[in-house]
Amino acid sequence: MNFLRGLAVLLVLQAIGEALAHALALPLPGPVIGMILLIPALQVPRLREPVKAAAEALLGHLSLLFIPIGVGVITHLDMISRYGIRLLVVIVISTWIGMAVTALLLKFLLNRARSEESLGE
Amino acid sequence: MNDFVQLWVYLASTPLFGLTATLVVYVSASAVYERLGRAPWANPVLWSVVTLGVLLWVTHTAYPLYFAGAQFIHVLLGPAVVALAWPLWLRRAQLRQRGVALTLAALVGGASTAGASVALGWALGLPGEVVRSLAPKSVTSPVAMGIAERIGGLPALAAVFAILTGIVGALSAKYLFDFLRIDSLAVRGFALGTSSHGIGAARALQVDAEAGAHAGIALGLQVLLASLLLPVAFLLL
């Protein structure tokens, strides 16, 4: 029951997000606005257990949710066969750059914060 | 034989087919992934997509017919994006403490991967709308589709690029982080979530809870930053 209650909360927030995005021509997609709204909404203790149940179920099987669009690759096989190697190069290299830059920068920032902390003590 | 063909044609034309095929293939791919000790190359998203793609091709089933059933799974991506607030809420103390470092890393990391994909795509002579579809590929696919539409890319192609990016990240992250000597599971998870969104986060969650939570934070931050900043960046280009 908690799962269904939580799912209802998530869907209502997504719907509010979609409505706000549409009405105010916001640059954010509806579900993202719903996500922003859920953070203050969780101040209400009654919402926490249901949201926890629904969030854990949905996020625990997140990979499954990507498969229907992923299979859509087959509708773009012509484009992929034409630019395949170049697309692969772009995707692989830019993904590695993103991971490396994020990891090295965050490691540096956290280490610096830690050494400042220990200096202060 | 003829009866069988007729039965198949009937079954394949109902929404039941797409939904059942997706679940059965995914559950099987996940079981194989577990059996192989969660090796990165055995990624269940990759092999489910390949298996279903081959299945549709062999049975001459059109994608829209498959999607008529699979959409019931696809629809859940919306509430799943909303649900990303839950891991953020759970880690709110940590977020408050590390918020500046995490936001800065998400901003610079996200900009570098989007910038690299646009620059490389342009340098390799890919068409403009393909390059624009590549830009949001580090954002979870439902959001990447929305961003691509806004900046003049093709939503369906952007979704495919996002999925491929997720798979590339999930497959290679372990080796890249080992090579760069990144030991902290929090940092590894965060970097994987920043570049490879939900598929990376799913991989991180399977490896370690701390890594998974940070991947979730990264995924949420990337959704926010990219939705706000990518359209602005393309206006300035």
pLDDT tens across B108-151, in order?
999 999 999 999 999 998 888 899 999 999 998 878 888 888 88
The residue among A115, A91, A97, A28 whose CA lies nearest residue B224 is A28
φ, ψ for residue B179 (rounded to 5)?
-65, -40
pLDDT tens-digit series, residues B24-80: 999 999 999 889 988 878 888 889 999 999 999 898 888 998 998 898 999 998 999
CA dist., res. B115 & res. B175, Å (int): 23
B180/A100 touch (CB, cutoff 8 Å), yes or no: yes
A74/B56 touch (CB, cutoff 8 Å), yes or no: yes
Question: Could you report the predicted ipTM of this complex, rounded to two decimals?
Answer: 0.86
Quick check: A121 pLDDT over 50? no
Higher pLDDT, B179 or B40: B179
CA dist., res. A12 & res. A10, Å (int): 6
Retrieve residue B113's tokens.
């991967």
Q: Are B200 and A95 in contact (CB under 8 A)?
A: no
User: Within 10 A of B158 (CB to CB), how many other CB atoms are there?
Assistant: 29
A25 close contact with B: CB closer than 8 A: no
The strand ranges marked E within B93-223 are: none
Tally helices (H) and strands (E) across chain A: 6, 0
Out of B112, B126, B223, whose CB is closest to A98? B112
pTM attached to this predicted model = 0.82
The residue among B125, B117, B122 whose CA lies nearest residue B144 is B117
φ, ψ for residue B140 (rounded to 5)?
-55, 140
Domain boundaries defined on chain B: 2-74, 80-236
Amino acid in position B96? R
Per-residue pLDDT at B11: 67
User: Within 10 A of B78 (CB to CB), how many other CB atoms are there?
Assistant: 23
Contact list in A for residue B74 (CB cut-off 8 A) is 65, 68-69
Instruction: Report residue A118's pLDDT band, with 50, 70 and 90 as the boundaries.
Output: low
pLDDT tens-digit series, residues A85-110: 899 999 999 999 999 999 999 999 88
Instruction: Report residue A27's pLDDT band, with 50, 70 and 90 as the boundaries.
Output: confident
Q: Are B151 and B132 in contact (CB under 8 A)?
A: yes
Per-residue pLDDT at A117: 66
A98/B82 touch (CB, cutoff 8 Å), yes or no: no
Amino acid in position B58? V
